[in-house]
Amino acid sequence: MAVSEDSTRRHVVITGEVQGVSFRDATRKEAEDAGLAGWVRNRDDGSVEAIFEGDADAVDRLLDWCRSGPSSADVDDVEDSEEEPQGESGFEVR
């Protein structure tokens, strides 16, 4: 994916009951539907970590979605920080 001036990259950590509830797969689907690149993975501390890169509005919408996640999740908090876009392509579950 080429980096444009409308591109943004966010590093996200989601805490709560977010593992074992299909959070990663649902995030991948939402990201792909939004045309975003990046990845999502479970962390050893029980949280889910992700990178979202692409159109700033689409990234903001995915961040909003992460605040509730799939219906089986119980999200406590979503921390995000902005990073320099890297030109990621595709979205993967790690």
User: Would you please indicate which residues are annotated as catalytic (active-site) residues?
Assistant: 24, 42
Backbone angles phi and psi of 85, in degrees to 5: -55, 140
* Residue 29 Rama label (left phi>0; alpha psi -120 to 50; beta): alpha
Token code pair at residue 34: 């939004």
